[in-house]
Amino acid sequence: MESLKRPAVLILGAGAVGLSLAGRLSQVATVYAACRPVHAGAIRDRGLVMEGVWGDRTVGTVACVSGPADVPPAVDVVVVTAKGTGTRAICEEYAGVIRGRPTASLQNGIGNEEIIAEYTDTVIGGTVTTNFSVAGPGHVRVLSESAPMHLGVWSGGGGEALGRLIGIIRSAGIPVEADSDIRSGKWTKALLNIAVNPICALLRAPVGAAVDEEIREIVDGLVRETFAVAGAEGVRLPWATADDYLDYLFRVQVPDFAAVYPSMYHDLRQGRRTEIDLLNGYIAALGERHGIATPQNRCIAGLVRYAEAHPDAR
Ligand SMILES: NC(=O)C1=CN([C@@H]2O[C@H](COP(=O)(O)OP(=O)(O)OC[C@H]3O[C@@H](n4cnc5c(N)ncnc54)[C@H](OP(=O)(O)O)[C@@H]3O)[C@@H](O)[C@H]2O)C=CC1
Ligand SMILES: CC(C)(CO)C(=O)C(=O)O
């Protein structure tokens, strides 16, 4: 007989994405969120405040954890939403919890699932094409949503776990689809981040800045180089050519996110390391390996690294 137990989800690295997800999933699951004390304190005091397209509400049922000792054995599935710069550290910290449990990543960039796979057999890759930000302690804002979440088995026999996780997310009312080629899915999402995240972070501009004639030419170069590198890596993207993707980017994605700031913008403003080496920096490094010139990605990655290191430049 099917168990009627409420599923239990642990979210590792709960900030803009993870707390928003925790707020929604807590309608249908028991949710534990590993977050920083500033969020945990506010959430314990008055609940998690959510605003935007995922609903305006205060959620009183998210349980914040401050270390693996706080995590109960009943957890069924783990979802990592830390920045890619913190994936290894959080996997190390929660290694005993992750081991033996299906663990999903909703992070941007390339390389997180490989790290998680060092800690558990069943890894689920994922993407989320929605804009989240932290408005204050224990307070998140969800603005534009452009596509359903995508989840797919990365490694291990995770078909059943994938189905369960999709069921939980869908029953919370979040649009989600199974992706039979999540490696390509991660690259597909990365195209958008490569195209707009560093530019908006450096210019302190929302995504709509990409339509400016001068900026559009740079975006064009970043995307063309990424297509060339993806081709050399044997990644199958849903668009046959860079021009086809650029058409989608400027017709759908840029308008959907025109007024909002991407995650890398917040990283630079707050003096945090960015995910540049999982995005444009990764393309530049792979390009070098394949003998493909990636001057635009090298240039933008260098500018972001400089801004990371020099407070006056951000
Ligand atoms: N924001 C967005 O619109 C979107 C973001 N993404 C991706 O999702 C991922 C998360 O992004 P986002 O939510 O914006 O990032 P945030 O920085 O808002 O959230 C991550 C949170 O995890 C915390 N954290 C890191 N390590 C630990 C730890 N060991 N224990 C407890 N807390 C920890 C961070 O704290 P601290 O900062 O102190 O390290 C931070 O509060 C990224 O890969 C991003 O690119 C994907 C789609 C949209
Ligand atoms: C889709 C987008 C641009 C939403 O903000 C994102 O992935 C990010 O901010 O990193």
Which atom of ligand 1 is least distant from the CA of 267?
A: 17
- CB neighbour class for 160 (10 Å; exposed up to 12, middle 13-18, buried from 19): exposed
Ligand at minimal distance from the CA of 207 is: 2
Looking at residue 312, what is its pLDDT? 87
Say how far apart CA 116 and CA 111 lie, in whole Å: 9
Looking at residue 1, what is its pLDDT? 46
Task: Return the structure tokens found at 40.
Answer: 């945990």
Using the mean position of ligand 2's atoms as its centre, give its distance from the Cα of residue 31 in Å: 24
Q: Give the residue from 153, 146, 173 showing the smallest Cα distance to 20.
A: 173
Using the mean position of ligand 1's atoms as its centre, give its distance from the Cα of residue 34 in Å: 11
Atom 5 in ligand 1: which residue has the minimum CA distance? 263
Looking at residue 5, what is its pLDDT? 85
Task: Return the structure tokens found at 121.
Answer: 């057999």
Pocket perturbation via mutation, ligand 1, pick of 106, 132, 191, 308 by most ligand atoms within 8 A of CB: 132
pLDDT, tens digit, 9 for 90 and up, residues 42-53: 999 999 999 999
Residues forming beta bridges with residue 64, ordered by sequence position: 33
Say how far apart CA 177 and CA 175 lie, in whole Å: 7
Atom 35 in ligand 1: which residue has the minimum CA distance? 36
Reported ipTM: the value is 0.99
pLDDT, tens digit, 9 for 90 and up, residues 73-84: 999 999 999 999
pTM of the model: 0.98
Check: CATH 3.40.50.720 for 8-180? yes
Ligand at minimal distance from the CA of 67 is: 1
| CATH code for the part of the protein at 185-313 | 1.10.1040.10
Using the mean position of ligand 2's atoms as its centre, give its distance from the Cα of residue 295 in Å: 23
Residue ranges covered by each domain of the chain: 8-180, 185-313
Looking at residue 3, what is its pLDDT? 55
Pocket, ligand 1, Cβ cutoff 6 A: 13-18, 34-36, 81-84, 86, 89-90, 93, 106-108, 128, 130-132, 134, 263, 272, 275
Ligand at minimal distance from the CA of 144 is: 2
In this predicted structure, the answer to whether residue 2 has a pLDDT above a threshold of 70 is no
